[in-house]
Amino acid sequence: MLLDIKTLLIASAAEAMVASLILALACYSERQLRTVIRLWSISQALIGAGMLLIALQGIVPVLWGVGISNMCIALGFTIEQEGISRYIGKQGYLRSAMLAPVLVICFGIWFFSVVYASLAYRIIAFSVGAMLFSLISVATLLKSGATGEAPIRFLVAAHLQHFAVMGARAVNAYIQSPMVAFLNIYGMQAVFVLLLSLCGISRVVCYFWLIIHRLGKEARKQEEELNRAVNTKKEILERMVDEKTRNLRASEAKVRALINAIPDMLVVSTGEGRVEEVYSNSSAFSARFPRQVYIGQMIQQVLPRVNANEIVQLTQNAIINGQSSQYEFILPWKEESLYLHTRILPLNASQAFHVVTDITEQKKLEAEALAALTQLQEAQKLSTAGVMAASIVHDLGQPLNSLKISTDGLLYVSEMGEKLNMDQVKVELRRISRQVERVEAVVTNVRNIVRQDSQSRRGVVLDTVLHRSLETFRTVQGSGAVALQYQTQAPHVVVCAADSEIEQILFNLLRNAQEAVLATSKQDKRILISTVEKGEWLELVVSDNGCGIAEDILPKVFEPFFTTKRQKTDNLGFGLAIVKSLVENLRGNVTVYNNELGGADFVIRLPIEKQEENQP
């Protein structure tokens, strides 16, 4: 005998453990669930084959039905596994809150059947455990989140058939037990063999009917729904494509209208300088640069070589760096010259976009405006010269009149034959000298304001010139009750200027500040000269604590002949005008502010000379 009853029972008891293992693994991984179901199907097939072999030897006739039913169970679970994989997936198959008690029950039944029970009770215990497994599976399927009516009915029917097979097997084992031995006749066994076989066959028939009829119908329904969804998506996509196409055409029309409205010429070229497209709605450009003539030509063939090479280089830079650039050039055209401005923009990795503008008329207008400005400046100079001449005649009249009185007096005494008193002569001579100095000062100021000499300019250390100028100012003018202070944060900075220009700037500012301070009744009269380096500029600041300047006349203080002094005998109003003229000739600028001390700050900014090394 190939297999004995004990071996068969151990294999059947293992089936209950496999059912428990399925319940456990189903809660973790779909892949593991599929693998275990396949192994269970194989074990059912082996058990069924073993029972059929035993039945063939005539040991236990009832095993014919048990073997057939096990073979049907193996086939059924194989089909069922495909149904799980296709229709249920990971939607909670065999998950249930009763997992723990089912495991305990299955293990207890298996242990009891192997150790204590007789053959009949072992089969009954195993069958009851398998029936419990089927009931739990049905309940879990009904509570799962699976969608679709046919898949649920399919799996419920499969487990009910398994329940029926196990029930028939339990009843047959009960009849085989000693308690009902009187029923153990061949005819009754044949009835149960037939019953078990019919249950297994009906299980298979049910599977195939559900798969072919119901599930096929469901698949066709799903396919129809899928086709409808695909057609709907296709219609939506076609509508979107049509809408996008209309929008693109409208956008293209707007761009073309915009290009046609631009008076400039648009050119597309490669990095090597080949002209690939020319757009122009301007009749002037179209006549001078016909589109069909220039497309395909190199820029070097169209423009002068110098301009063409520079434009090609800028085009390559724009394509590589992704940055725009501008270029202006003159293009000889027949008997005239065209002034053109081009803006070069990157278009893609190999092309650039040129926006060419004809600025010939603009250049003509600029030239006319410059000529008009020059004429206006000349007129202003003539007007200023006329005013200066009238003012000079007026202001020179007093010192000349004083000179005439002194010289006439001396001549009168000499002609009368009287002896000249040398002390009186010295007094008159000193008066004449002072008046001559006044005349000389007026002439010098006029000369400085109308002509600046840049021949003697050189790089000078400003700190050195300022020290020398301050000492000269103290000697000539005298500081008196005014405290002169000098502070520098740039002792070695060099500027391009003539020493006399720096001295004259400082003299005029110090004299202006001294007069403003002396006009006040303050006890602490101060003038501060300071220098500081700020980037490429040197700032020279002359500050005082005098009476300041009224806000309404601040913009006028640098105008010629403007003065705030009531007595004009010694002040023509040239001082600050000369300062402004000198500073601007040195490429600098001068501004004035009222400070917190009540006085004024004159700020002069001069460019620092970078060509020469600074020397202490």
Considering the domain architecture, whether residues 348 and 270 belong to the same structural domain is answered as yes
Considering the domain architecture, whether residues 479 and 568 belong to the same structural domain is answered as yes
Residue that wins the pLDDT comparison between 488 and 66: 488
Considering the domain architecture, whether residues 56 and 149 belong to the same structural domain is answered as yes
Judge whether residue 288 has pLDDT over 80: no
Residue that wins the pLDDT comparison between 430 and 540: 540
Contacts of 159 (CB under 8 A, 6+ apart): 134, 135, 137, 138, 141
Q: Which of 121-135, 482-496, 552-566 has the highest mean pLDDT?
A: 482-496
Mean pLDDT of all residues in 197-225: 58
Judge whether residue 112 has pLDDT over 70: no
Q: Which residue has the tokens 């071996």?
A: 7
Contact between 74 and 45 (Cβ < 8 Å): yes
Backbone angles phi and psi of 329, in degrees to 5: -155, 165
Q: How confident is the model at residue 163 (pLDDT cuts 50, 70, 90)?
A: low
Token digits of residue 212: 């072919």
Considering the domain architecture, whether residues 465 and 414 belong to the same structural domain is answered as no
Cα–Cα distance for residue pair 21/37, rounded to 1 Å: 10
Token digits of residue 182: 């009187």
pLDDT score, position 305: 78
Considering the domain architecture, whether residues 336 and 440 belong to the same structural domain is answered as no
Token digits of residue 4: 């004995």
Contact between 276 and 294 (Cβ < 8 Å): no
Q: Is the whole model's pTM more than 0.75, yes or no?
A: no
Residue that wins the pLDDT comparison between 408 and 537: 537
Over residues 464-505, the pLDDT tens digits come to 889 888 887 776 565 567 888 899 888 888 998 887 788 888
Mean pLDDT of all residues in 442-452: 58
Mean pLDDT of all residues in 114-139: 52
Last residue of a domain, one of 413, 448, 483: 448
Considering the domain architecture, whether residues 111 and 219 belong to the same structural domain is answered as yes
Token digits of residue 30: 């779909």
Token digits of residue 319: 């394509």
Cα–Cα distance for residue pair 245/251, rounded to 1 Å: 10
Q: How confident is the model at residue 7 (pLDDT cuts 50, 70, 90)?
A: very low
Mean pLDDT of all residues in 427-432: 77
Judge whether residue 391 has pLDDT over 60: no
Judge whether residue 585 has pLDDT over 70: yes
Give which of 67, 64, 56 is closest to 191, Cα–Cα.
64
Over residues 222-236, the pLDDT tens digits come to 778 888 888 888 889
Q: Side-chain half-sphere of 468: how many Cα atoms within 13 Å?
A: 11
Give which of 256, 231, 444, 266 is closest to 351, Cα–Cα.
266
Q: Which residues pair with 47 in a beta bridge?
A: none
Considering the domain architecture, whether residues 425 and 408 belong to the same structural domain is answered as yes
Contact between 82 and 33 (Cβ < 8 Å): no
Over residues 294-342, the pLDDT tens digits come to 788 888 887 877 788 888 888 888 888 888 888 888 877 777 778 888 8
pLDDT score, position 547: 87
pLDDT score, position 508: 85
Any idea what the CATH number is for the domain that residue 444 is in? 1.10.287
- In-domain check, residue 213: yes
Q: Which residues pair with 538 in a beta bridge?
A: 533, 606
Q: How many CB atoms lie within 10 A of CB 24?
A: 15
Any idea what the CATH number is for the domain that residue 353 is in? 3.30.450.20
Q: How confident is the model at residue 604 (pLDDT cuts 50, 70, 90)?
A: very high
Cα–Cα distance for residue pair 529/547, rounded to 1 Å: 18
Give which of 129, 170, 166 is closest to 20, Cα–Cα.
129
Mean pLDDT of all residues in 600-616: 75
Contact between 120 and 66 (Cβ < 8 Å): no
Mean pLDDT of all residues in 596-614: 81
Percent above pLDDT 90 for the chain? 5
- In-domain check, residue 249: no
Cα–Cα distance for residue pair 118/412, rounded to 1 Å: 175
- In-domain check, residue 28: yes
Last residue of a domain, one of 358, 386, 420: 358
Which of 83-97, 167-181, 403-417 is the least confident region? 83-97
- In-domain check, residue 182: yes
pLDDT score, position 412: 74
Q: How confident is the model at residue 528 (pLDDT cuts 50, 70, 90)?
A: very high
pLDDT score, position 561: 64
- In-domain check, residue 521: yes
SS3 call for 93: coil
Residue that wins the pLDDT comparison between 236 and 25: 236
Judge whether residue 174 has pLDDT over 70: no
Considering the domain architecture, whether residues 444 and 354 belong to the same structural domain is answered as no
Cα–Cα distance for residue pair 51/182, rounded to 1 Å: 24
* Helices 149-176 and 119-143: angle between axes, nearest 10 degrees: 170
Cα–Cα distance for residue pair 141/88, rounded to 1 Å: 10
Judge whether residue 122 has pLDDT over 60: no
Cα–Cα distance for residue pair 526/529, rounded to 1 Å: 10
Helix (H) or strand (E) holding 329: strand 325-333
Judge whether residue 181 has pLDDT over 70: no
What is the C-alpha radius of gyration for the chain, rounded to an integer number of angstroms?
59
Contact between 272 and 312 (Cβ < 8 Å): yes
pLDDT score, position 88: 44
Residue that wins the pLDDT comparison between 1 and 286: 286
Residue that wins the pLDDT comparison between 438 and 505: 505
Which of 182-186, 298-302, 580-584 is the least confident region? 182-186
Contact between 530 and 487 (Cβ < 8 Å): yes
- In-domain check, residue 574: yes
SS3 call for 344: strand
Considering the domain architecture, whether residues 477 and 411 belong to the same structural domain is answered as no
Cα–Cα distance for residue pair 399/440, rounded to 1 Å: 11
Cα–Cα distance for residue pair 359/196, rounded to 1 Å: 106
Residue that wins the pLDDT comparison between 171 and 286: 286
Considering the domain architecture, whether residues 391 and 497 belong to the same structural domain is answered as no
Q: Which residue has the tokens 């009891």?
A: 112
pLDDT score, position 600: 92
Give which of 65, 26, 24, 21 is closest to 43, Cα–Cα.
21
Over residues 43-52, the pLDDT tens digits come to 656 655 665 5
CA 391 to chain centre: 65
Last residue of a domain, one of 228, 245, 274: 228
Query: How many residues in the chain?
Result: 616
Judge whether residue 192 has pLDDT over 70: no
Contacts of 412 (CB under 8 A, 6+ apart): none
Considering the domain architecture, whether residues 391 and 483 belong to the same structural domain is answered as no
Contact between 161 and 77 (Cβ < 8 Å): no
Contact between 258 and 279 (Cβ < 8 Å): no
Phi-psi region of 131 (alpha: psi -120 to 50; beta: other; left: phi over 0): alpha
pLDDT score, position 3: 39
Q: How confident is the model at residue 101 (pLDDT cuts 50, 70, 90)?
A: very low
User: Which sign, positive or negative, has the C-alpha torsion 514, 515, 520, 523?
Assistant: positive
Q: How confident is the model at residue 39 (pLDDT cuts 50, 70, 90)?
A: low
Cα torsion through 120, 126, 130, 133, rounded to 10: 140
Mean pLDDT of all residues in 198-221: 55
Judge whether residue 543 has pLDDT over 90: yes
Judge whether residue 451 has pLDDT over 80: no
Any idea what the CATH number is for the domain that residue 558 is in? 3.30.565.10
Backbone angles phi and psi of 537, in degrees to 5: -125, 150
- The one-character DSSP state at 419 is P
- In-domain check, residue 247: no
Percent above pLDDT 70 for the chain? 49
Over residues 330-360, the pLDDT tens digits come to 877 777 778 888 888 888 888 898 888 888 8
- In-domain check, residue 258: no
Considering the domain architecture, whether residues 460 and 569 belong to the same structural domain is answered as yes
Number of domains in the chain: 4
Token digits of residue 154: 């399919």
pLDDT score, position 91: 42
State the average pLDDT for the chain: 68
Q: What does 594-608 look like in DSSP terms, one character per residue? A: E-TTSSEEEEEEEEB
Domain that holds residue 404: 365-448
Contact between 315 and 347 (Cβ < 8 Å): no
